[in-house]
Structure 1
Amino acid sequence: MPYIDRSDAGRRLARALAPYKALRPVILALPRGGVPVASEVAAALEAPLDLILVRKIGVPIHPELAMGAVVDGSKPIIVRNDPVIRHAAVSESRFQELCRREIKENERRRRLYLGDRSPIDVAGRVAIVIDDGIATGATVRAALQALRRRRPKQSVLAVPAGPFAMISDFHGLADEVVCLEDLEPYGAVGAVYRDFSQVTDREVIDHLRRLSPAPSPAIDPAGN
């Protein structure tokens, strides 16, 4: 089992990304699981930490099967998986309804995590996108497509683990891809971690507060 927890994975990923420190990158995490990993990288590279909020659009009768994804922004980006939509016989009206629901959830999470803070401008800068691992790749693919519209100088996808056979698929979306462990022998992202407990909203907020001198976002009374 390669990693103790996400922080351990982040420290190891930071060592692999050390050459980027001199380029003054921006670190973009996919919440919630990618945030503890990205937090370690941002601290080691002395880089600002921001989020790319992506929500998977699951098939109604099989929510774990992605038929698309939405990425937050002033003009949210919708990524479709048309073969899955057709196979699941999901109507266009139902698909759009689910898109609207996930767009609202992205908006809610950005307010919760970042308050009134504006996204960091990555135009002309090196942007490193980080998650805790890649399984199907749907959310990462959507995040990279959204990032391209923000015109970074260079985009880097960095993850502790993912299927090496799939990694080449991302080279057309990112300028560089860093993946430390092949997921194939393990089967699932959680299998490469000794501790893969769910990351809470409070933990996400704490990581962002520690690394970003931004106004404190509101924490819901339940502490989630």
Structure 2
Amino acid sequence: MSWPERFLDRRDAGRRLGERLATRDLLDAVVLGLPRGGVPVADEVAAVIGAPLDVLVVRKLGLPTQPEVAMGAVGEHGTIVRNEDVIRAARVERAAFAEAERRERAEVAARVDRFRGGREPIPLVGRTALVVDDGLATGATARVACRVAREAGARHVVLAVPVGAPDSITAVAEADEVACLSAPPGFMSVGMHYIDFHQVPDDEVAAILRAAHER
């Protein structure tokens, strides 16, 4: 099996994505990175297109038996997306879903405090919300993130990722449009498309956002 084209790391992916987006007319855009891996990508995008950077906190609801598989996602302001196909296939009981939702909502609140450090979010009313992640697999977290941006008053919502699964890209109805550099037919995982795909620690995310705020 031959490897698909890969990015060096998230910052390389962000620069390439930013160059693609720089050709677009993104009126009064705010770049919103999804923690943790999406924030370094979003930082580069914001630098290339000259837009402010903020964080948009969402959490995947993993299956009880397979935490890496999303049965849904939750975000700020009580937003939720359910992946009904996965829930039915895995026969997830209502109580198990509710427990996962309770746990991840608590983590959303904790991460908002940790990453923003008490700063108010950048207002989105009437602006273009550019939601950025390091890749799109099932699309559950991206969908809830786009919904959060919409409910915060964004006039236009764009989901931007370096790589994604073709089926998931077309299923993100919550975005007005999706910008994706690569959507390989044989997509298996986001990490396969990066040479360096190390986990991004919380303190790095907080430092990136703090530096962006100071700029």
TM-score by length of 1: 0.87
Match of 1:66 in 2: 70
The alpha-carbon distance between structure 1 residues 21 and 38, as it changes in their structure 2 partners (threshold 3 A), is farther
1:186 shift after superposition: 4.8
Alignment length, in residue pairs? 211
C-alpha contact (below 8 Å) 2:64/2:96 kept by paired residues: no
Which of 166, 169, 173 aligns to 1:167? It is 169
Structure 2 residue runs of 5 or longer lacking an equivalent are none
Q: Distance in 2 between matches of 1:97 and 1:3?
A: 37
Match of 2:196 in 1: 195
Match of 2:181 in 1: 180
C-alpha contact (below 8 Å) 1:21/1:45 kept by paired residues: no
The alpha-carbon distance between structure 1 residues 200 and 121, as it changes in their structure 2 partners (threshold 3 A), is same
Q: Deviations over 1:55-75 (max 9, x none)?
A: 1111111212211111122xx
Partner-residue secondary structure (3-state), 2:130: strand
Q: Distance in 2 between matches of 1:207 and 1:28?
A: 12
C-alpha contact (below 8 Å) 2:130/2:158 kept by paired residues: yes
Q: Distance in 2 between matches of 1:48 and 1:81?
A: 31
Q: Which is further off, 45-54 or 28-37?
A: 45-54
The alpha-carbon distance between structure 1 residues 86 and 163, as it changes in their structure 2 partners (threshold 3 A), is closer
Alignment of 1:127-146 (within 5 A): 127-146=129-148
1:128 shift after superposition: 0.3
Question: What's the Cα RMSD here?
Answer: 1.8
Match of 1:218 in 2: none
Q: Percent identity?
A: 48
Partner-residue secondary structure (3-state), 1:196: coil
Structure 1 residue runs of 5 or longer lacking an equivalent are 215-224
TM-score by length of 2: 0.91
Partner-residue secondary structure (3-state), 1:144: helix
Match of 2:103 in 1: 101
